[in-house]
Amino acid sequence: METLSSAGTLASPATLKTGRRAVFAASIGNALEWYDFSVYAFFAVYIAQNFFSGADDGARLLQAFLAFGLGFIVRPLGAVLLGVYGDRAGRKAALTLTILFMAVGTAVIAFAPPYSAIGIGAPLLIVCGRALQGFSAGGEIGGAAAFLIEHAPQDRKGKYASWLQASMAISNVLSALVATAVTLTLSRTQIGDWGWRIPFIVGLAIAPVGFWLRKTLDETPHFQAEMDRALREQHAQRSTLREIVTAHRRGLLIGFGISVLWATSIYTLVIFMPVYVQRTLGFSSQQAFFAALVGNVFMAAACVAAGTLSDRFGRRTVLACSAVVMLVVVYPLLALLQLSHTTATLVVVQIMLCAVVAMFGGVAPAALSELFPTRVRSTGMSLSYNTAVLTFGGFAPAALTWMTQNLHSTFAPAWYVIAACAVALISIACLPASA
């Protein structure tokens, strides 16, 4: 039986089956990519103890988060090189390459000797591993989003693209499960000595699965059609980067503004939260990891719901509503955590924060992808998103750690996200009415 898309074209069962397989393969690979980012944030305290020197725990933790942020400096480089590669060689080729870089970076961190064994070489190895992971992640967003959008039926692009953010939530669930298992089965001393390496080794062990899935993917119909058109018309390939900068500057600026909130909300309210609630609000590691686990389960479901709603009501409407809700609720929710230190309160707050982040992040990939044509989509999305991540997202844990310790600003994460909401709302207002 065939289904009719909103554009009036028929989508055959075979096409829908191919699309679902693309969603599964791209989402699994993307989840494996982002698993290692979450694990680093979860075990930053132990990484700080093993690889960095300093007079106190706070100084070492700040260095560990700076290393986490330094990995984001190379993300724009990965965005350009891997984005251009994806627009030239195809989405499949680029996605296969990104997961290889991520696996090597994870291996470097998992097996790096501690500071007590090799001195300054230890933090340098961590920075090297983060750089490889950052380079890989730089090309991941644009490539994976383009892949999902270009496999989607016309009336389901938002739903398909939402799996990009949903798969990140799934990776957070996986990392939280592993973190919870490690903290429940090992003593704090064991975790500090060697147990923190287990989650990275788990990620390294399942990387070949993601590589195989991506290697067996079919190229997207949109990319194939674009290549066939260029061949028929005998067009010489133009410089993708030059075309993006000269012909799509408005799209880059709007995409950057939307990505500011997309990146900031994730790294502040999802990635940084387990550390924040432990060090600033006094919750235990078990409470923090359990709340992160439950919150990210809801986040995965909310992402797909948001993408589906955007197919019906438009990207601009859903993005604007979610940004306004986030602006209004983030401060009261963190204030509630300060007043009530129960596990139930933490879980409820984390669910609400993850849900509102999902309502924005679940729609953002589709909104960004529609700002650029097929021939430059991967590069345009990668540049927009990764520039925002470099500027506001990647260093958020380090900046917020410094602010809470030195400025005694308990609600620094709330103010950070509120500022990002204001930037995003201006950009959303500039989206085309059809978005």
Could you report the per-residue pLDDT of 276-300, keeping only the tens digit for each? Answer: 888 888 888 788 888 988 998 999 9
pLDDT attached to residue 207: 77
Angle at 369 between CA 70 and CA 15, to 5 degrees: 120
Residue 401 has a pLDDT of 78
Look up residue 78 and give its two tokens.
């990965």
Which of 150, 415, 384, 151 minimizes the C-alpha distance to 253? 384
pLDDT at 240: 63
- Identity (one letter) of the amino acid at 332? P
Asked if 361 and 222 touch (Cβ cutoff 8 Å), the reply is: no
Fold of the CATH domain 12-429: Growth Hormone; Chain: A; (1.20.1250)
φ, ψ at 11 (rounded to 5°): -110, 115
**Global pTM?**
0.77
Query: Quick one: pLDDT at residue 220?
Result: 66
Per DSSP, the residues of 308-330 read: HHHHHH-HHHHHHHHHHHHHHHH
Confidence (pLDDT) at 435: 57
Below-50 pLDDT ranges, the chain: 1-14, 236
Across 346-370, b (16+ Cβ under 10 Å) vs e yields bbbbbbbbbbbbbbbbbbbbbbbbb
300 contacts: CB under 8 Å, gap ≥ 6? 166, 167, 169, 170, 173, 358
The tokens of 107 are what?
């291996």
Q: Residue ranges per domain, the chain?
A: 12-429
Q: What is the pLDDT of residue 10?
A: 41
92 and 217 Cβ atoms separated by less than 8 Å: yes
What pLDDT is stored for residue 364 in this prediction? 92
Burial code (b: 16+ CB inside 10 Å, e: under 16) for 46-85 equals bbbbbbbeeeeebebbbbbbbbbbbbbbbbbbbbbbbbbb
* Secondary element (H or E) of residue 4: strand 3-4
Check residue 8 and give its pLDDT. Answer: 39
DSSP 8-class letter at 196:
T
What pLDDT score does 14 carry?
45
Please report how the helices 343-361 and 249-266 are oriented relative to each other, as an axis angle in degrees rounded to 10: 170
